[in-house]
A and B are shown apart, each in its own frame.
Chain A
Amino acid sequence: MIVARRSEVVGRIVPVVLAIGLSLLLFALTGFDVGAIVDGIVEGSLTGDGALANTVRWTIPLVVIGLGVGLSLRAGEFNIGGQGQFLVGSLMAVWVGLRWDLPTVAAVVVGMVVATVAGALWSGVAGVLKVAIGADEVIVTLMLNFIAIQLVSWVTTGPLRDPLTSGDAASTARLDESLRLQSSGQFSVVLIFLTLVLAIATWLLVDRTKFGWSLSATGANPRSAEWWGLPVRRLRLATYLLAGAFAGLAGAFEVFGPSGRVATGATPTVGFTSLVVATVGSLTVFGTIWAGLVFGALQSAVLFLPIVTDLPPSGLRIIEGLVALLITAQFALVLRRRTTRGDDLTAVDRERPDVSVGDGAPGSELGD
């Protein structure tokens, strides 16, 4: 499915508009000049000097990670470790770039491959634990994010430290200019091209292969997928490896592209935002790109906003949080509430979480 149905598109746009509207209302009530903020958002993401390039710069990681997250969610796996996989990928890329001493083109290619593999393995930890013993992937991937953040703080203060930086501003040394596919304020043709290739490949995979169809079948109803003889466990594991590979590659894009290094404090929270992007995009390729552009524009605008208004940067987190809070809500249900409610509408009836506490479950043996 490359595009979602129209009713679904409307269902996804309403929460985003609502979230942005509520945020602007909050900003207005707390004494900020909403007109200036809106002008600032437009100028910082579209019309300003280099603003569009900056929007694209932020859209690329969001779309690349978001495509992988979409594959996971499609198969019913809540792999929310995009941030950790992204960080591990960028660490590997910076390591290859700084220390492997390869010729220019080889360094970039090898760096991307190593980052992709590292991201896949990082995500694979959660995948193996989930598939083999049923460990909850939400918690495991979240914990892997926190571990990756510590890894970054080790690498930037230890092995690859730039001696001129320290503490909260610690960072690795910068890659040589010859390894960079993009400097700030520019479009990077290579990265845009690679992102589009990934998007098309994902679309073909999801829409035109048996693998993609099996993923959706598994996500829609794992039990019947198993009865049909689909290798459900292997499919699930594959989504972890793929999502991790995408996120790791996005990390390499970041390092060889706009940032050129890995820094402790300045790490953008692309992991969570790309989860929002994938969800807003209804897990479709086309939707993910559109949603990526919207959130890329917001990210770009937030870095510009301090110039025109004193709105704190946490304003963007409020918008993102509200979007995530509202995006899966079906607002049509508000109108239909008075009529009968089908059983399928209560999200809490779903299989997750897998916790039985009836007779004989471990819970009842502990204390009584």
Chain B
Amino acid sequence: MAEFVASMLRSGVPIALAGVGVLFAVRAGIFHLGLEGLMLSSAFVAVAVGRGTDSIWLAVGGALLASAILSVLYWWLIEHLGADAVIAGLGLTTLSVGGTAFFLDVIFDVRGRIDSRVALPRPVRGADDGIGAYVTELSILGWLTIPLVVVAWVVLRRTRFGLRLSAVGSFSYGARAAGVDEPRVRLAAMLCASVGAALAGVEIALGGLSAFSENMTAGRGFIALAAALFGLLHPFGTGLAALFFGSAAAIGVVTQINSIDSVPRPFILMIPFLVTIAAVSFSSIARRRAIERRSRAGLA
């Protein structure tokens, strides 16, 4: 049980961080498929900077910077050159898959995997009994996830920027009529997403394994996007959705630790993806119901 909860929390953290970030972009009307690539690039930059400087702070800073630069490029292509967010986003992800593998080869002369020399601190490491066993593996970013979710909620619900963001995504003409500078709001939303993606990438590379390996995000960026949709684009909902996807991933971890092999392993590794399909279907039904309710009430 402790094993399951611990790995559910650990698997859920990167999905929550990236999901809460990306919901800003989705709310602003950008279907951010570059998220996976941002996470992967951030993971690589964190490990690379960590190896060069031996500083965890510079590693995190480097990841944030790399993610922000790529996000601005992605935003610029969409905003000013009319690029399609889906295809350009998949391109950004592929570019990151290729680019990280390329620089791994060019800078460190290895293919596949490289160990990190820095790692995120784990505040309660060593507490193995009772509640402690659940959280002993949680990195500092794991502990910061809940405060960050709350901050995201405050920004979205209680600031002028958050309200403008939702206006831009859901009622563009109204937002424009109200004098909102839409491109800037979308840029800010992309930068929020870039922070979430960078932290998620750092967590994946430096939270547990302390290594970078090619394509190590393995679709978790797309799952984070699904978590934002499943969480109905609400920070708390997204956090809960991330925990739910974390539990799907934890099944794989727990069965491997206990070497349960009554079901072939590939089928267990499929679970998070199957669950994601179910969740996306569910959230779209929920969204439809809400729209129907609105139109019945004469609001739409």
Contacts and interface: CB of A to CB of B under 8 A. Distances in A.
B82 A143 contact: no
B102 A314 contact: yes
A138 B99 contact: no
A331 B290 contact: no
B229 A139 contact: yes
A355 B27 contact: yes
A147 B94 contact: no
A329 B84 CA distance: 7
A362 interface: yes
A367 interface: yes
B95 A366 contact: no
A142 interface: yes
A350 B79 CA distance: 12
A133 B281 contact: yes
A357 B229 contact: no
A368 B286 CA distance: 18
Interface string B184-206: 00100000000000000000000
Contact of B91 (A30, A129, A324, A352): A324
Nearest to A136: B280
Interface in A316-368: 316-331, 333-334, 337, 345-349, 352-363, 365-368
A80 interface: yes
B191 to A, nearest CB: 16
B299 A360 contact: yes
B95 A321 contact: yes
Interface string A269-306: 00010011001000000000000000000000000000
Contacts of B28: 348
A120 interface: no
Given A147-B270, A321-B97, A355 B81 contact: no
B25 to A, nearest CB: 10
B26 interface: yes
Interface string B279-300: 0110011111011011001010
B102 A134 contact: no
Contacts of A353: 26, 29, 31
B251 interface: no
A347 B84 contact: yes
Contact of B81 (A143, A319, A320, A330): A330
Contacts of B80: 333-334, 337
Interface stretch (A90-98, A148-156, A239-247): A148-156
Contacts of A150: 266-267, 269-270, 273
A140 interface: yes
A312 B105 contact: yes
A135 interface: yes
A348 B80 CA distance: 11
A317 B91 CA distance: 9
Interface in A144-189: 144, 146-147, 150-151, 153-154, 157-158
A279 B87 CA distance: 9
B81 A322 contact: no
A80 B90 contact: yes
Interface in B243-296: 264, 266-267, 269-270, 273-274, 276-277, 280-281, 284-288, 290-291, 293-294
14 contacts: A144-B277, A153-B266, A275-B90, A315-B102, A318-B95, A318-B99, A318-B102, A324-B95, A325-B74, A325-B77, A348-B30, A353-B31, A361-B287, A361-B294
Given A314-B101, A331-B81, A361-B287, 12 more contacts: A129-B277, A139-B277, A147-B270, A151-B266, A272-B90, A321-B99, A322-B95, A324-B91, A348-B186, A355-B169, A362-B232, A366-B234
